[in-house]
Amino acid sequence: MLHSAVSESRLDNHPSATAAACADSHTSADVFNQVLAEIRARREEFDAKRHVPKDMVARLKQIGVYRAATPRCFGGDARSPSDFLRLIETISEADGSAGWVASFGSAAVYLAALPRDTLARLYADGPDIAFAGGLFPIQPAQKADGGWRISGTWKFASGCKGADVLGVGIGTGNGGKPLTAVLRPEAVEIVENWEVIGLRGTGSHDLRIKDAFVADEWTFVRGGTPSIDEPLYRYPSIAYAAQVLAVVNLGVARAALDEVSVMAGGRSGITGAPKMADRAYLRIAVAKAEATLRSARAFFYDATDAAWDSILKGDAVSPEQTSLLRLSAVQAARAGAEAVQTAYLLAGTAAIYDGHPLQRYLRDAMVVTQHAFLGEGMYDGAGSVFLGVPPMPGYI
């Protein structure tokens, strides 16, 4: 099994150590490494365009990103959460924006709440479907015969310019849970307004719709009961949505600390000070950053594997396990950002220039921490569960 092979390799400490462990069964390690090299070579392009282009999304499909969470009954891989998270971590080490866009390959877990006949139509041409959603703010929709009439504007639709289908959040007006309506890109206007400091290549633009009709069978409750009975769709979907974003910072942090290691073996500074590796304070700081990052990473994958093992045994994932997934996700995001900040500070004046890799890592890592799923309130939710009091709504 891939999971056991990964856990026995250096991948536990360094995500890019074994490309074959992240590549799916359809992809060779050579092809996987070629795609990673292309991502590194094009990350400036992604920033300039403010999105990951469709031809790069096609390359991500080639290495199995967008079939990873597609049901096996529709030709997908339905890979374990740990396998997919390691895949995203490795892509994120090459580029945070590409990793963020690739992370939405997990959205097929959400889509599994669509009716089975709708899923058959969605995957009729193959399992490699890229989904992007601008789910908030929830917009009111008008009930129509057999569906809904939808208008409005939605924010933060990461990866929308390369998506095969798009989702938007709608309110039903009857007190029920909001729905996600699924549309083809031609029915949606992309408002290109992603002007940000970090994760520039994610293309997290607004979506705008004017009086579109969406049939009932193309709507679902996000995190709702799946119509597919396979192990992956018993994994807590909202917690998974937080995990696939948090893991981006584990990859970015790995890249940042590796960058400092390369710099440390170089020549002396312009002031004549010893080279970086000969400075005790720098060695201490790097060791502390590695310990913090690896500890958070171990907690992250331990919580993931514990929940998955419960599912494979036929047990439900407990509220306590779901809480640990949420807690480990926010901790991974924060520890990753802290490691990147440490690397930036240790690099000195070299890191202040636009073209230095640590500039990119710093900007990207700090944006990851700002996502609502990874905010400070997640610690409150986890603390509530530890102490036996009700957590905030939606936490579990």
Look-up of token digits 């939605």: 154
Residuewise pLDDT in 10s, the chain (396 residues): 333 333 333 345 554 455 556 777 677 899 999 999 999 999 999 999 999 999 999 999 999 999 999 999 999 999 999 999 999 999 999 999 999 999 999 999 999 999 999 999 999 999 999 999 999 999 999 999 999 999 999 999 999 999 999 999 999 877 778 999 999 999 999 999 999 999 999 999 999 999 999 999 999 999 899 999 999 999 999 999 999 999 999 999 999 999 999 999 866 555 567 789 999 999 999 999 999 999 999 999 999 999 999 999 999 999 999 999 999 999 999 999 999 999 999 999 999 999 999 999 999 999 999 999 999 999 999 999 999 999 999 898
**Judging by DSSP bridges, how do beta strands 147-157 and 189-191 pair with one another?**
unpaired
How far the first Cα of the chain sits from its last, in Å, is: 30
From 101, 97, 105, 107, select the one nearest 196 (Cα to Cα): 97
Q: Which residues contact 352 (CB under 8 A, 6 or more apart)?
A: 359
Mapping DSSP to helix (H, G, I), strand (E, B) and coil, where does residue 156 land?
strand
Global confidence as pTM? 0.92
**Residue 391 in tokens:** 């957590």
Give the integer Cα–Cα distance in Å for 75 and 67. Answer: 8
Could you give the domains of the chain?
Answer: 2-111 (1.10.540.10), 130-220 (2.40.110.10), 235-387 (1.20.140.10)
